[in-house]
């Protein structure tokens, strides 16, 4: 590995060039997963997943192998952190044995930085409480793969302003002329600092990021509708009646009929009949399954980028 080790904690720390490079490589590797020089040859990737995962864990495991590396998987109770060892001490040991570390946690992002042993071990955020950056890159790659240039594209996100929504806002706000509306239940919107940050970034790029609390308030044309499961992995909501607030944000055929040409995206897993109807998820406008396959290519692009930094 050349140069100083680098990781991927949040898309907010990536410059525009790096985001575009990662998305372009994701599309290239989706088209041909052999389009690389096995940059992980001789390297060992740790995969620490303290929460359930199907797509992301499989993508990074398979991606490590395809790029020539060796994966080592750790479950939520496999490390001595389960018996009281600090994250800093654990990270110090892992940095002496691993070349890369991919982490999924329901905890805060600073836990990933602790595991990096002061930045000596490159860490990839495979989802934390605040953000799901590799999902955002796969989402952007899906849109570009389908639409091509995104100048003038309008994306509507419907649902909770969760870690997936944060990543989506951060990638869309960097695209020239891209307009994104986040329709979220009152009290469940994007974090105010993220909304301010991405709205400002979008203005600089000739686009917009806005938030509304009623899908009916969206009057403009929409080219893509995106939703995510209402109960994010590893999280809970203090209000026992929260589902009442979310029901108007269900994506069904009636909502999609407002924009007959719009495509549908979902980060999966989906709860049919809750955030989305099966008719929409499995319908001809759905890109959700292509989106999932692009996560595999996205994992390869991120691993390649981190290992050659």
Per the domain annotation, does 43 fall within a domain?
yes
Q: Above 80 in pLDDT, residue 5?
A: no
Per the domain annotation, does 180 fall within a domain?
yes
User: 75 and 123: one domain?
Assistant: yes
User: 119 and 145: one domain?
Assistant: no
**For the residues 134-162, what does the mean pLDDT come to?**
97
Q: How far apart are CA 237 and CA 185, in angstroms?
A: 13
User: 162 and 97: one domain?
Assistant: no
Question: How many other C-beta atoms are found inside a 10 Å radius of the C-beta of residue 231?
Answer: 17
User: 88 and 151: one domain?
Assistant: no
User: 184 and 210: one domain?
Assistant: yes
Q: At residue 263, what are phi and psi to the nearest 5 degrees?
A: -95, 160
Question: How many other C-beta atoms are found inside a 10 Å radius of the C-beta of residue 220?
Answer: 9
**For the residues 122-140, what does the mean pLDDT come to?**
97
According to the model, what pLDDT value does residue 125 have?
98
Per the domain annotation, does 4 fall within a domain?
no
Q: Above 50 in pLDDT, residue 144?
A: yes
Q: How far apart are CA 266 and CA 256, in angstroms?
A: 14
Element (H, E) at 266: strand 263-266
According to the model, what pLDDT value does residue 234 have?
57
Q: Reduced to 3 states, what is the DSSP secondary structure of residue 203?
A: helix
**For the residues 173-184, what does the mean pLDDT come to?**
98
User: 209 and 142: one domain?
Assistant: yes
**For the residues 101-122, what does the mean pLDDT come to?**
94
User: 200 and 275: one domain?
Assistant: yes
User: 116 and 184: one domain?
Assistant: no
User: 140 and 222: one domain?
Assistant: yes
Per the domain annotation, does 6 fall within a domain?
no
- CATH number of the domain where residue 156 is located: 3.40.50.1370
Q: Above 80 in pLDDT, residue 3?
A: no
Instruction: Name the domain count of the chain.
Output: 2
Q: Which domain holds residue 251?
A: 133-292
Per the domain annotation, does 245 fall within a domain?
yes
Handedness of CA 301, 111, 11, 52 (dihedral sign): positive
Selection from 303, 299, 300, 307 nearest residue 2 by Cα: 307
User: 191 and 85: one domain?
Assistant: no
Q: How far apart are CA 72 and CA 9, in angstroms?
A: 20
Q: Above 50 in pLDDT, residue 1?
A: no
Asked whether the beta carbons of 29 and 301 are under 8 A apart, the reply is yes
Question: How many other C-beta atoms are found inside a 10 Å radius of the C-beta of residue 74?
Answer: 16
According to the model, what pLDDT value does residue 4 have?
52
Per the domain annotation, does 173 fall within a domain?
yes
According to the model, what pLDDT value does residue 216 have?
92
Read off the pLDDT of residues 228-249 as tens digits, 9 standing for 90 and up: 999 876 567 888 899 999 999 9
User: 137 and 270: one domain?
Assistant: yes
């Amino acid at each position: 590995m050349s140069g100083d080790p680098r990781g991927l904690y949040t898309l907010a720390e990536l410059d525009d060039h790096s985001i575009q490079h990662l998305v372009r490589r994701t599309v290239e590797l989706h088209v041909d997963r052999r389009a690389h020089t096995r940059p992980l040859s001789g390297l060992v990737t740790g995969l620490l997943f303290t929460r359930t995962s199907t797509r992301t864990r499989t993508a990074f495991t398979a991606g490590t192998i395809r790029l020539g590396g060796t994966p080592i998987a750790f479950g939520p109770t496999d490390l001595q952190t389960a018996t009281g060892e600090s994250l800093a001490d654990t990270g110090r040991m892992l940095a002496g044995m691993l070349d890369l570390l991919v982490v999924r946690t329901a905890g805060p992002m600073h836990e990933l930085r602790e595991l990096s042993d002061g930045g000596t071990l490159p860490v990839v955020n495979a989802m934390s409480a605040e953000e799901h950056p590799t999902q955002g890159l796969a989402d952007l790659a899906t849109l570009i793969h389908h639409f091509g240039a995104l100048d003038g594209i309008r994306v509507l996100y419907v649902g909770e302003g969760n870690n997936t929504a944060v990543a989506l806002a951060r990638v869309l706000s960097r695209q020239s002329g891209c307009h994104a509306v986040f329709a979220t239940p009152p009290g469940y919107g994007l974090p105010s600092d993220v909304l301010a940050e991405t709205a400002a970034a979008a203005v600089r790029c000739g686009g917009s990021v806005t938030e509304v609390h009623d899908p009916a308030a969206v009057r403009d044309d929409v080219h893509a509708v995106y939703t995510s499961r209402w109960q994010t992995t590893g999280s809970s909501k203090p209000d026992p009646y929260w589902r009442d607030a979310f029901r108007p944000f269900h994506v069904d055929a009636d909502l999609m009929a407002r924009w007959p040409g719009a495509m549908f995206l979902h980060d999966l897993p989906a709860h049919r009949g809750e955030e989305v109807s099966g008719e929409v998820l499995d319908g001809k406008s759905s890109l959700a399954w292509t989106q999932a396959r692009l996560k595999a290519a996205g994992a390869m692009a991120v691993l390649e980028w981190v290992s050659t930094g």
